[in-house]
Amino acid sequence: MDADEMAEQSVKFEVRGAESVIVRRDVVWRTTPAATLTLDLYHPTDFVEGTAIPTVILVAGYPDPGFEKYVGRKFKETGSSRSWGRLLAASGLAVVAYTNTDPEADLRELLRFLRENGPAYGVDPARMGLWASSGNVPLALGALMEDGRKSLKCAALCYGYTLDLDGATDVAEAAAMFKFANPNAGKTVADLPVDLPLLLVRAGIDAMPGLNDALDRFLLAALKHNLPVSLVNQAVGQHAFDILQDGPDARDAIRRVLAFLRFQLLRLPER
């Protein structure tokens, strides 16, 4: 499967009402000398204008110019982003997917923008969580370390690179190879908020170099620090199993991601 075909793949899971959620595309949220940055907003079908609801931000850890050159579209326009947006909105949450040119600086500015302006866009700035996968996860962890004590309430991190711990360099080497943002050099799990729930989704047969080694070290360190971390180990999952594998194990892992975010942000059980 080439990069363009990969970018077209959608999540292999269905939620009632996902195709009828409310979507606003290409809302301008920031203008810089480099680019005009936009976001896509997803809301449940019963969303009422003028209200603000708990929101999940789909973290983009790759700069869009390079990402688009490689896969033919921006991160927010991939089948993965669009289908996760619809699934989460159908589960009762708002979703923000966005463009960037500088992943670290732009995510920082997006979070500030949503804290200050969220209600005008149907976003509750006091109840925001992150969803990230693969090479997007280090940037999400960096945001949790920096912003997790302000407005972020939880994060679901799927088959992702995490932190380089105990002298390892797997994440740094992957970031240099794949060109994703890795703002956490020298950081440890001690830099994370002690009361912010994390869900780690592990793909048991992930073949990305060093990914599971780093993830396993991260999980052990998080447990030693008694962080509120949960694990879904999709034992037969390959990297990006949510868009590449259609089976009961993959669907169960996706369901558990939706349930985690729904519970943490809405404090409601799975629908």
1: number of Cβ within 10 Å: 9
- For every residue of 82-134, DSSP letters joined together read HHHHHHHHHTT-EEEEE--SSHHHHHHHHHHHHHHHGGGGTEEEEEEEEEEEG
Distance CA 160, CA 12 (A): 19
- In the block, tokens 């969220």 appear at 118
From first to last of its 271 residues, what are the pLDDT tens digits of the chain? 677 788 899 999 999 999 999 999 999 999 988 899 999 999 999 999 999 999 999 999 999 999 999 889 999 999 999 999 999 999 999 999 999 999 999 999 999 999 999 999 999 999 999 999 999 999 999 999 997 677 899 999 999 999 999 999 999 999 999 999 999 999 999 999 999 999 999 999 999 999 999 999 999 999 999 999 999 999 999 999 999 999 999 999 999 999 999 999 998 545 4
Closest to 230 in 3D by CA, of 145, 152, 157: 157
Residue 60 is predicted with a pLDDT of 98
Burial class (CB in 10 A: 0-12, 13-18, 19+), 139: buried
Domain ranges of the chain: 3-266
CATH of domain 3-266: 3.40.50.1820
* Adjacent-strand bridge partners of 231: 200
pTM of the complete model beyond 0.75 = yes
Closest to 131 in 3D by CA, of 150, 159, 103: 159
**Backbone phi, then psi, for 90, in 5-degree steps?**
-65, -20
Residue 268 is predicted with a pLDDT of 55
